[in-house]
Chains A and B, each alone.
Chain A
Amino acid sequence: MQGTVLDFIIVILYVLGMIGIAIYFARKKFSTYEDYYLAGRTLTTPVMVGTLVSSYFGVDSLVGNSEMGFSMGISGFFSYCFVAFLFMILLAFFGKKIRDKSGPYKSPVDLLGVTYGPLSRISSAIGSLCYVIPVVNIMGMGFMISFVVGIPFWQGVVLSAVIATLYTFFGGMKAVAFTDVIQFFIIAIGLGLIGLIGWSKLGNDKILEGLRAFVGDDPSFYFQPSGGWMTTGLFFTYSITAISVLCEPTLFQRIFAANKESTVKKAILISAFIYFAFAVISVLIGSLAAAEVGLGNLPTDTVSSQSLVAVASKVLPVGIFGLFLAAFLAGGMSTMDSMLLVAGNNIADDLYRPFFNKNISQEKLIKVTRISIVAASIISIVLSFYFGRVMGAWVFVSSMLVNTTIVPLYTAFYLKKKYRLAGELSSLVGLAGTLIYYFVVGNAGYYDEAWGTFKLDITIFGKEVILWQEYNIFIILPLVIIIYFLVHIISSLAKVKEVKEA
């Protein structure tokens, strides 16, 4: 095990605390489904900030950012996090309108289903479900727990899934928001301490010396936003999936659960800046880990994905390291619980209720959601043993979400006139287009080890073009937009009946 007994006790206390919250909520009864899934729409600004940041900044962010910082420096921040930050600012300005329009709906899928019809409901529910089954997160947790505590990967996976499932199952959004806020405190303090202590302990000269030894060359690219590798094309390729922020189901669930419209804008703006700070720290600590390896302070076989914990174990004092490990668990747990809750709602309220049991009682709906949460958790555990390439999985799930949801969702919010066929066709084309694109590039193409992605060489009008798996949003999303507006204009000219506002 990494760390001392005191560190271990702090981690155990954290785990017991989470189980305690599950027990507390097990005794409670929820009068309505809205009370269970949206905490009765009572989230205030500070609660929203805590839950937004901790659910969006998960263990995948912690591991992924430090991994990028380890091998490419600050350009790792600019190739994704910075763009995600900008989209969050944009979402803050949309947020007020979204909350205002969310009225009778419990989720974006529900809104799309009522506005555009069942095809749109099914397509966007599939897109959302692909995104919120927390496979990537649960894998990150499994790896980290096995690295820190020394138990096998599968035990780490099961342990974290069981705890997050327990309190989400019993407490719904109230438990998720409450634990998220506590987890937010732990992540913020853990990251803040390692940022301050870790860097100053070595100092700039030593860090540069270490990085020079690590790369065996001039390490100045570690502190260049472009990293010397990022062309405009690559920047767009890597950052395009950040557009998923604009339709991220767990962020939307918080927006729907806010107590009033003004809360949403304030909370998302504050959260965006905190996300910025967390992302910078996690990327730069990854670079610090590379310097420590170069200096011989960390073993040369340190894996980039473990760089954050490796540095933490090296530089943080006893007890504080335990807090950091708890922060790590908190990062994973807070994202997993949010995703499981949304997955439960996707299955129960977005699909089961409208298609199989329209007059379901509130009590029964909560029961079906709870069963769905357990099912989603089991599916995540099973899938986590089969997914090899984490990054590939991320690009796929975010593409599914963006291509099926973003166009019908924002048109539902912002267009005065809406036509059912435009919404249904655009969702369906988004779903089918993404699947076909992945199937074709994955099967007819080849795997490029250097870039870690599938590519397909094609010739268009005598010109050679290389299609990356990542390019699908560039191709499918414009197609979805064209189809939506084409059908919209035709429907308008043909004087087709408009969709009525709920």
Chain B
Amino acid sequence: MFLNNIVFWEVVLYICSVVSLIVPIFLLYFYIREKSFLLK
């Protein structure tokens, strides 16, 4: 089965890592747009 393959998990790891690096950029964009910094 494809789930039992190191290559499959390597790809999943890279996707997760890229998601992990991209998400902060998106969130930062929304913080700035919504001005939701809480430090008021």
Contact = CB atoms under 8 A, between A and B. Distances in A.
Contacts of A284: 9, 13
A194 B21 CA distance: 11
The interface size bin for chain A is 35 or more
Given A189-B21, A276-B16, A280-B13, A220 B4 contact: yes
A354 interface: no
Interface string A40-54: 001111110110000
B3 to A, nearest CB: 6
A280 B16 contact: yes
A47 B36 contact: yes
Q: Which of B4, B10, B20, B39 has the most CB of A within 10 A?
A: B20
Interface in B2-40: 3-10, 12-21, 23-24, 27-28, 30-31, 34, 36-39
Q: Considering the complex of A and B, which 8 residue pairs feature the smallest CB-CB distances, nearest first?
A: A195-B17, A192-B20, A192-B21, A277-B16, A46-B30, A44-B36, A196-B17, A280-B16
A446 interface: no
A396 interface: no
A24 interface: yes
Contact of B39 (A178, A188, A195, A225): A178
Interface residues of B, number: 29
21 contacts: A24-B39, A39-B38, A43-B36, A46-B31, A46-B36, A47-B38, A74-B9, A178-B37, A185-B24, A185-B28, A188-B20, A192-B20, A196-B21, A199-B10, A208-B6, A220-B4, A223-B4, A223-B5, A273-B19, A274-B19, A284-B9
Contacts of A178: 37-39
Interface of B: 3-10, 12-21, 23-24, 27-28, 30-31, 34, 36-39
Contacts of A46: 27, 30-31, 34, 36
Nearest to A219: B6
Contact of A225 (B3, B16, B21): B3
A39 B38 CA distance: 8
Interface in A333-385: none
Nearest to B21: A192
B2 to A, nearest CB: 11
A474 B9 CA distance: 32
